[in-house]
Amino acid sequence: MPSSFPNSALSTLCIPLGDTITPGMMNNLMYLFVMNAAIGVLEGLLLKWWFAGGKRAVWWMIAANYCSAWLGWFLLGWLIDPSNYNLGPKPIERISHLALIVTLISFAITILLEAGFVHIAIRREKRSVPRTLLATITVNAISYTILCSWYLSTSFTLLTDARVVDFSQMSQLPRATLYWVDPSGLVRSRNFARSEPDHIVVVLPQNETYKPYQLRITESDNSHRAQMNAEYETIGAGNIPAGMTPGVQEMPVLLDAGPLEVFPADYWQQSRILLKSVLDLRPEKSRQIAVNFDVYRHFLHTEVPGGLNSMLSVAFASLEWEPRQPTVLPDDKIIFEWEGQVVLFDPRTQNIAFVALGSCPAFIPDAK
């Protein structure tokens, strides 16, 4: 049965539409103000070459792209608001479907918004509804192909830098115990390398204001043992959870985390204070794969010597998955939180798998 702390213990955690599709990209202000002009020039020239565009075709298409982009900014902001969809129990396995749907919708909206501009941009004597429709679809298909290629390399890299697989396909898992906080505030544990049921360790108090953001492993008073604490973040103003003391941001010891010897010697000097460092469970001499983490730009980047490079990023106009709490495991795999789910990534194969719903993953290797 899960336990909860007594009060005495508690008192001491882009998809683009210039095109409508550009507002969805990362660095979207650049696209809204600069890139759409370049797209308009390209589409205006295509109209001149292929569809009898007039002298002002380029200017009309620049206007068309700014119109569709700025309207798309608001449309996509509403369309992909997290409250408007449900990605199910394994979000990472369905986010690509959402990206495809939004791309198709944004393309359709672009056609509707820009058709009038294209019609005016075509020379008067050549104008017709069929020509306008064909021209609008053709020039936008070309610009969307360019933009989507750019988008896939900067904002939505699951299709290029990772392959979503079932957890059972992540071979040779290290022997260890994974801890995390589920959406209801239960700290759960799982024997990572064996097929056993998850265990409920403890109940953490939380609400919309106070939430755990890290299960932190530290040295304990016993010089040979480690311990685990829960650290909290404060989100806005509001009532604290029952049993918590105002101003207290850290829970007392949750559990014994095992012998210190299972962690690398420099583990205790590694820090997450700046939200950019990565905890590394590999011995220093075996750290060949580089892992770079930047929560402010929403990506996790890995470089395999002589092999694959990956930049994991999911960013839409109003939806940005922030990688959090990454830990490099002894076998080079990386476990981290990604928008309310714990996932495991193998930089050698680029396989990524859903592990559990929740946050604050903490990984403790088994004693040898």
Between CA 231 and CA 213 the distance in angstroms is 6
Do 151 and 233 share a domain, yes or no?
Answer: no
Distances (CA, A) of 305 to 173, 230, 250, 278, 291: 21, 35, 39, 19, 12
Count of the separate structural domains present in the chain: 2
Q: Are residues 335 and 210 in the same domain?
A: yes
Residue 139 confidence (pLDDT) above 80: yes
Do 127 and 210 share a structural domain?
Answer: no
Digit-coded pLDDT (tens) for 174-223: 899 999 999 999 999 999 877 778 999 998 888 777 888 889 999 998 88
User: Which amino acid is present at 75?
Assistant: L
- DSSP symbol at 85: -
Residue 317 pLDDT: 60
Kindly state whether residues 139 and 282 are assigned to the same domain: no
pLDDT digits (tens, 9 = 90+) for 286-338: 999 999 988 777 899 999 999 999 999 998 766 789 899 999 999 999 999 99
Residue 54 near residue 104 (C-beta atoms within 8 A): no
> Is residue 212 in some structural domain?
yes
What per-residue confidence (pLDDT) applies to 247? 55
If asked whether residues 100 and 222 sit together in one domain, one would say no
CB burial string 167-193: b at 16+ within 10 A, e below: eeebeebeebbbbbbbeebbbbbbbbe
Identify whether residues 148 and 173 lie together within a single domain: no
Which residue type does 87 have? L
Instruction: Indicate whether 13 belongs to any domain.
Output: no
Q: Do 114 and 179 share a domain, yes or no? A: no
CA distance 267 to 45: 58
* Distance, CA of 302 to CA of 284 (rounded, Å): 17
* Residues 152 and 68 reside in one and the same domain: yes
69 in a structural domain: yes
306, 355: one domain:
yes
- Indicate if 167 and 152 belong to the same structural domain: no
Distance CA 176, CA 189 (A): 10
Among 101, 127, 156, which residue terminates a domain? 156
Q: What percent of the chain has pLDDT over 90?
A: 50
For residue 276, what are the domain limits? 163-365
- 7 found inside a domain: no
Residue 12 maps to a domain: no
Does the pLDDT value for residue 82 go beyond 60? no
**Among residues 156, 187, 219, which one ends one of the domains?**
156
Q: Is residue 178 part of a domain?
A: yes
Task: Quickly list DSSP for 182-227.
Answer: -TTSEEEEEETTS----EEEEEPP--SSEEEEEEEEEE-SSTTEEE
pTM exceeds cut of 0.75:
yes
Same domain? For 203 and 139 the reply is no
For residues 286 and 310, membership in a common domain is answered with yes
How crowded is residue 131: how many other Cβ atoms within 10 Å of its Cβ?
Answer: 15
The pLDDT-based confidence of 1 (bands split at 50, 70, 90) is very low
